[in-house]
Structure 1
Amino acid sequence: MAKSFTLHTADGEPRIHDLELAAPLAFGGPKRLRDLINRKSRELALYGVLHAVEKPSGVKGRRPTREFFLNQDQAIRIVMLADTVTSVEVCAMVVKAFIEHGRSQCSAPPSAPDLAPILSILQQIADTLALLTKPMAPR
């Protein structure tokens, strides 16, 4: 079970799509996992906004669905609540995905600030000081 999760951004933070958790959890499919998420929605909201996306019915006349994108704490909690034979491995995969995401965010070089405006102001101050301290010529 060496699969890694793809993280999506929602509400300004990385999240895991519920469908990606359902398969490796072996919890009985996406519908059963979503039922668990719905039942535990108040508890999951303690860990942040529970981001859900309403999907309209498909071309084949399927019912509308509600998909969830879980943050790290919510994903770990729902994996533990699922309590399947693969929960421990899936939890480790979730943690690893978020750690790798955090490392990739930290490894980006910081952008250099634009110092031109500050240098311009400092030059004006230096010019003004030079004029003020210039010896006065006798009359």
Structure 2
Amino acid sequence: MTILRSWPGIGRINLATLLAEAAEPLRRRDYHALRALAGAAPVTRQSGKQRFVIRRLACNRRLQSAVHHWSRVAIQHDAASRRRYDALRRKGHGHARALRSVGDRLLFALCTTLKRRTPYDADHNGTKNSANG
């Protein structure tokens, strides 16, 4: 619970929704199941010569909304999330698409911190380790 609360932007309502709607994938630290359940995993459709990627429609709506709001607040309070969002917007992605990507990254990092049993660290992007050696 402490690890989950350490994430910027998660809030108590989003935290409760994550725990209620995705308890099993969180317990297993299953990133792929979590991202599919939250609607962050894209779907590839192909037929003959055509191939395109669309957003996932078959997902848990409550969890999808929680991850959306978590991403929205994270880009306001977390520099790494903001940089990712801004880079996606510069590439031409829409607001919702960029938030889904930020949310997908947050879910991956959340599973990683749960596996390592460490709280969120905003400076973990290698800046501290590269300065030491």
TM-score bracket for this pair, using the shorter chain length: under 0.3
Output the TM-score relative to the length of structure 1.
Answer: 0.26
Higher gyration radius (CA): 1
Which structure is higher in RCO with an 8 Å CA cutoff and minimum separation 6? Answer: 2
Pick the structure with more helix per residue: 2
Give the TM-score normalised by structure 2. 0.27
